[in-house]
Structure formats: C-alpha cells, structure tokens
A and B are shown apart, each in its own frame.
Chain A
Amino acid sequence: SSDLTQDPPVSVALGQTVRITCQGDSLRDYYATWYQQKPGQAPVLVIYGKNNRPSGIPDRFSGSSSGNTASLTITGAQAEDEADYYCSSRDSSGKRLVFGGGTNLIVL
C-alpha cells in the first residue's frame, strides 16, 4: 500500500476542468510533485512545489494543497492530457520518496 492515496480513474470532457487529488499525512509537511505518464513513455514532471511548472508544461496545469491533500487541476483539458498522473512526496521521515497509486485520466 502507498503512503499517498489517489483517485480512481477520472474522466473529463474535452475543454472542461478536472481536478485530481492526492492524500497523505506527509503532505502536511511536504509539497506534492506531479508526474504525467503516457503509455510507453517515461514519466514527465508537470507540477512541483507550491505551484510550479517546468518549462514546456502548458499553463492549464496547476497545483494546490490544503492540509493533507494535494490537487492537480487541468483547466481546459485537451486530448493530449489523457494519461496516468502520479503524485509523489517524501515519506513521514523525510528521507525516502513515495508515489501515489496513480490516477488514469480519460479525456472524452
């Protein structure tokens, strides 16, 4: 079992907004990092820190956090956003990293 819990599969209509959540006690102390993974590809960093996007990541991706829950929001989802999304953070000791179980996003 994972220290971080993510939503089951989520679907969103093209152009609509979707929020994917990640829950865990360690998120009270550490920010979540979000990765996107498409089939057959390595994960790609999409959001980190309070709400930071690496260069090349569209600004429709944003992150937020409250208490033990971190969220990834895609505002105006596009077909190319269909992927698995994983949150990651440090564990409660701060010395090791953990992933959530992943959320499969389907864009309809």
Chain B
Amino acid sequence: EVQLVQSGAEVKKPGESLKISCKGSGYKFTSYWIGWVRQMPGKGLEWMGVIYPGDSDTRYSPSFQGQVTISADKSISTAYLQWSSLKASDTAMYYCARPETASSSVMDVWGEGTTVTVSS
C-alpha cells in the first residue's frame, strides 16, 4: 500500500526553526514528485512547492519562495519542509502529497497532515 506518513503536531514560538517530515512507503520514492500544501485555519489549499527526490529538483510557488525550504533524503524515503524563523502567520495545517504517476500533477496519495502552531 502506498502511504505518506507525516510527523506529528508542532507548537513553536515565533523566531524558532522547524522541520517537518513526510515519509513515503510502498513505492519507489525516488521516482515520484512530492508536493507540500498549506491550509491556514478556515482557509483554502495552497501549493507551496514540489520536490523530485531522485535528483532533488525543487520548484516553489512564488508566494513561498525564500520563505521555506523543501528537501528530501532518499536514503530514508523522506521529504521535508522547513522554516528557519517561524512567524505566527505560519500557523497552519501542512499536507504532503504524491502524484498518481511519476510525471503527473494529479495527487492521489496524501499524508494525514501536520499541524503547526506558532504562538508566543
């Protein structure tokens, strides 16, 4: 079974750093893009960016370029989303997702989400 398992909820203070994870299993991790999606409380879905673990090719949506870093460790089939200095506005649910085929933009497998709360 193809699965994406995300790390647990985080509570952080403004200015702190954070790295959340998304572990893939049941498929060849290096052959599929992984995308990250933000959902702020009560709001819609926003694409943050995608990474191809095979060669670490990473593409950010303009709104998130420079605000977060997406990375992957193919040795442990895990993708990451990290912040160097969190802001209260980073409070949100973050989902990772995998496309149905290697070159597709159709995400048929989703992680359960990681809640990030940033509050002083």
Spell out A's residues near B (CB within 8 Å).
2, 30, 33, 35, 37, 42-45, 48-49, 54, 84, 86, 88-90, 95-102
| Cβ-defined contact, B44 with A42, below 8 A | no
**Docked complex: B84-120 residues within 8 A CB-CB of A:** 95, 97, 100, 105-108, 110-113
A residues within 8 A CB of B35?
97
Spell out B's residues near A (CB within 8 Å).
35, 37, 44-47, 50, 59-62, 95, 97, 100, 105-108, 110-113
Which of A44, A88, A89, A100 is B110 in contact with, Cβ under 8 Å? A44
* Interface residues of A, dominant DSSP: strand
Q: Check A90/B105 contact, CB under 8 A, given A42-B113, A43-B110, A97-B35.
A: yes
CB distance from A86 to the nearest CB of B (A): 5
CA distance A33 to B44 in the complex (A): 15
| Cβ-defined contact, B59 with A95, below 8 A | yes
CA distance A44 to B100 in the complex (A): 12
| Cβ-defined contact, B106 with A33, below 8 A | yes
| Cβ-defined contact, A45 with B61, below 8 A | no
CA distance A96 to B46 in the complex (A): 12
| Cβ-defined contact, B50 with A86, below 8 A | no
16 A-B pairs whose Cβ atoms sit less than 8 Å apart in the complex? A42-B95, A43-B45, A45-B107, A45-B108, A48-B106, A86-B44, A88-B45, A88-B47, A90-B105, A95-B59, A96-B47, A96-B60, A98-B47, A99-B37, A99-B44, A99-B46
